[in-house]
């Protein structure tokens, strides 16, 4: 241990108590160093085992990844087939839906439909002289 630490402890606590406290501190630090050394060695062993098992376990993944990729490609193909069929079904049904819309419109005519103009210009509207009229398409 450091002689400087001994002097500081003796200076702070006196010669008798300082020596006892210094010995206790030296013993504590020695135990801590021994424990740190043991833990460091154990850590090295555990890390080596981790690397060994990680390498071994990584060998199990490629077949599973290949199976997952095949399943994903099959899923994509199924989704594309479903979407194409769904669009085709909607296209086939469109004439029937238009027929239904026409029949419902004939069954339920809007009241005053012949006299109602929604987006027309009212009779009282007079455009300003310097503004050109809107072109209707």
Query: What pLDDT does residue 9 have?
Result: 86
How many other CB atoms are found less than 10 A from the CB of residue 22?
19
**Residue 108: DSSP 8-state:** S
Please, is 21 exposed, middle or buried when counting C-beta atoms within 10 Å of its C-beta (0-12, 13-18, 19+)?
Answer: middle
Query: What pLDDT does residue 97 have?
Result: 94
Query: What pLDDT does residue 1 have?
Result: 60
pTM score of the predicted model: 0.42
Q: What is the pLDDT along the chain (137 residues), one digit of tens a residue?
A: 688 888 888 888 888 888 888 889 889 999 999 999 999 999 999 999 999 999 999 999 999 999 999 999 999 999 999 999 999 999 999 999 999 999 988 888 777 666 666 677 777 877 777 777 667 65
Query: What pLDDT does residue 60 have?
Result: 92
Query: What pLDDT does residue 118 have?
Result: 65
Query: What pLDDT does residue 13 have?
Result: 87
| Helical (H) or strand (E) element with 95 | helix 61-107
């Amino acid at each position: 241990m450091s002689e400087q630490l001994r002097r500081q402890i003796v200076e702070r606590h006196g010669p008798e108590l300082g020596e006892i406290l210094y010995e206790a501190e030296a013993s504590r630090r020695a135990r801590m160093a021994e424990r740190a050394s043991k833990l460091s060695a154990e850590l090295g062993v555990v890390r080596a085992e981790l690397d060994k098992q990680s390498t071994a376990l990584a060998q199990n993944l490629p077949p599973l990844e290949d199976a997952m990729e095949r399943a994903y490609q099959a899923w994509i193909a199924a989704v594309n087939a479903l979407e194409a069929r769904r669009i085709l079904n909607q296209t086939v049904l469109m004439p029937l839906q238009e027929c239904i819309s026409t029949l419902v419109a004939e069954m339920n005519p809007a009241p005053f439909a012949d006299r109602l103009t929604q987006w027309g210009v009212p009779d009282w509207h007079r455009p300003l002289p310097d503004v050109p009229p809107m072109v209707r398409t």
